Amino acid sequence: MFTGLVEGQGRVEAVEKRGGDILFRFHPLFAWSEPEIGESVACNGVCLTMETWIPTGPSFTAFASAETLSCSNLGGLGVGSLVNMERAMLLGERFGGHIVSGHVDTVARVESVRPVGQSRCVRLTFDPEWSTQIVPKGSVTLDGISLTVNDCGPGFLEVNIIPETWRVTTVAVWRPGSAVNLETDIIGKYVKHLMQPYAGEGAPREERVTMDFLRRNGFGL
C-alpha cells in the first residue's frame, strides 16, 4: 500500500525483455535506507517487487509482467527514462496523500498543460468507462502522484500541479500526448462494486435513498 507522496525519482539502467515480461534495473536518485528483497516499490504508480538489490550504484531489479505492461506506461520506458518512486508505507507513520494500491487501472493521455498563477493545470483524457470512479475534489493517482481532481467529466480530468510537485516528479516532462498511469480512488471502486447488484438492468429505480430502501437492501440495523 502507498500514499501517492513520491519520495524521489529513479532512472532506468537496464531493460531486459523476457518473453512477454520485462526485467527492469532501476537506480534510485535519492537516499535509500535498509533495502529489503521482496519489498514493494511503486514505479510510476505501479507496484513492483524488488527482486535483487545491487549496493554499487545503488540499483535494484524488478519484474513487470505482461498484464502490468498492458495497462501501464512501463512498456514505453527505455534506458535513461525517469520514473516516480515510492516505497510501501510503514504502519504507524504519518499518512499523507490518499490510499494508493499501486494497481494501475488505465493509461491516460495528456491533452494540455497550461500555467495558472505559479502552478500548472494539466488536462488528461482516458477511456470514459473510468469516469464514474472520478469525482471533483476527489483523489486520483497519476504516475504514482496523489493529486486532487479540479474538474472532470466523461473521459477527462484536470489537476493542478504546484511548483514543488513540478520540481520533484516527472510531471515536468509531461507534454501533450504523454502516456500517464491512472489509478482511481480505491474507496470509489468498492462503493461501485457493492452497488452493482442494485443497479443492474431491470432493477427498480429509486428516486431517493431512504431508511426503508437501505433496510430492504441489507443495510438496516
Burial class (CB in 10 A: 0-12, 13-18, 19+), 161: buried
According to the model, what pLDDT value does residue 157 have?
A: 97
Percent of the chain beyond pLDDT 70? 94
Whether a cis peptide bond, with omega within 30° of 0, leads into 28 is no
Cell numbers representing residue 202 in the block: 431491470
Q: What pTM did the predictor assign?
A: 0.86
Instruction: With H, G, I as helix, E, B as strand and everything else as coil, classify residue 149.
Output: strand
Confirm if 22 and 95 have CB atoms less than 8 A apart: no
For the segment 92-121, what is each residue's pLDDT rounded down to a tens digit? 777 777 889 999 999 999 999 999 999 999
d(CA 49, CA 40): 5
For the segment 9-32, what is each residue's pLDDT rounded down to a tens digit? 999 999 999 989 999 999 999 999
Cell numbers representing residue 71 in the block: 495497462
d(CA 39, CA 62): 10
Q: Which residue has the cell 502516456?
A: 179
Residues 6+ apart with CB under 8 A from 102: 1, 2, 40, 42, 45, 46, 47, 183
Rounded to 5 degrees, φ, ψ at 5 are -95, 105
Return the amino acid letter for 168: V
Burial class (CB in 10 A: 0-12, 13-18, 19+), 199: exposed
pLDDT in tens, the chain (221 residues): 899 999 999 999 999 999 899 999 999 999 998 999 999 999 999 999 999 999 988 999 999 999 999 999 999 999 999 999 999 987 777 777 788 999 999 999 999 999 999 999 999 999 999 999 999 999 999 999 999 999 999 999 999 999 999 999 999 999 999 999 999 988 878 887 777 776 655 555 555 667 777 777 777 65
Q: What is the CATH number of domain 8-87?
A: 2.40.30.20
